[in-house]
Structure 1
Amino acid sequence: MLELWLMFSGAFLAATLLPGGSEVLLIGLLNQQPELWLELLVVASVGNTLGAITSYYLGYVGRYAKSPDAIHSPRYQKALGWIERYGSWSLLLSWLPVIGDILCLMAGWLKLPITSSVVLIFIGKALRYSLIAWAII
């Protein structure tokens, strides 16, 4: 079960603001043990979602240090625009590289409802990992 802990850790860390390639890890583990595809898929999705919720929380706490109006970075402005336009639904794109982490951070910053945020983040991340697993198996 070391593979599952490795997948969980890799997926969790990749979803925070730390760089990481959980997709590559998933592909490697699926190539080594394809019979664990469902377990790896679930663990990757849960780990990545929990990492994204960590980013959400950091945004929530970070709001006390800086208001959303004080953001000037183009990446943050793009994420802010998506969230302002689509609300929690934009979190379906939380799996995207770079911008996905920022979407989760901004969702917390804007205090989007946590329940719908978690559900939509999980759906987006589970779909991404499902497509990867389907392509490998």
Structure 2
Amino acid sequence: MGLWGLFGSAFLSATILPGSSEVVLTALITAYPDQAWPGFAVALAGNLLGCLLTFGMGHAGRQGYERFQNVKVDMDGPQVRRLRRWGTPALVLSVLPLVGDALVLAAGWLRMPLWQSLAWIAVGKGLRYLLVVLGIMGVLSFA
């Protein structure tokens, strides 16, 4: 599978499709220990590009939804107010299962600043992949 397979897995895992790029990263590093840091970089890049797609779907989806449904989206609901109050730093939580992809989609929907959003997403995703790599390399002990 290699680095391209890892990239594809990380990309798809960051969209609304299910996936587990951590498992693929673990398998890659277990088979090829010298690929730990390239694997980290490839997984992070693939995941961020997948998040960019998800963000874009949210951004485009709102415009299309309002246009074709002839409705105005309620931007004053409690979840929307909460995400607006926390702002882009809340996107560090995009690393969480199930809600993470929804957060990225909502950030696009809310028209949050793209580069700030991606920066906070990168912090969360980067820390997750870093923990995986360090755990596999034996630097961290989870026992």
The bucket for the TM-score relative to the shorter chain is 0.7 to 0.9
Paired position in structure 2 for 1:60: 59
- The correspondence of residues 1-137 of structure 1 with structure 2, limited to 5 A, is 3-64=2-63, 65-66=65-66, 68-69=73-74, 80=80, 82-137=82-137
- 1:124 deviation in Å? 1.0
- 1:118 deviation in Å? 1.1
SS where residue 69 of structure 1 aligns? Answer: coil
Q: Gapped runs of 5+ residues in structure 2?
A: 67-71, 138-143
Distance in 2 of aligned mates of 1:83 and 1:26: 31
Q: CA RMSD in A?
A: 1.8
- Give the structure-1-normalised TM-score: 0.88
Select the structure with the greater relative contact order (CA < 8 A; seq sep ≥ 6): 1
Identity across the alignment (%): 40
Larger Rg: 2
Paired position in structure 1 for 2:69: none
Which letter does structure 2 place at the counterpart of 1:106?
A: A
**Contact preservation (8 Å) 1:68, 1:110:** no
Count of residues paired in the alignment:
130
SS where residue 112 of structure 2 aligns? Answer: coil
SS where residue 16 of structure 1 aligns? Answer: coil
Deviations 1:30-71 (A, max 9, x none): 11111110000000001001101111000001112055528x
Distance in 2 of aligned mates of 1:131 and 1:83: 26
- Give the structure-2-normalised TM-score: 0.84
Where does structure 1 differ by over 3 angstroms across 4 or more consecutive aligned residues?
Answer: none
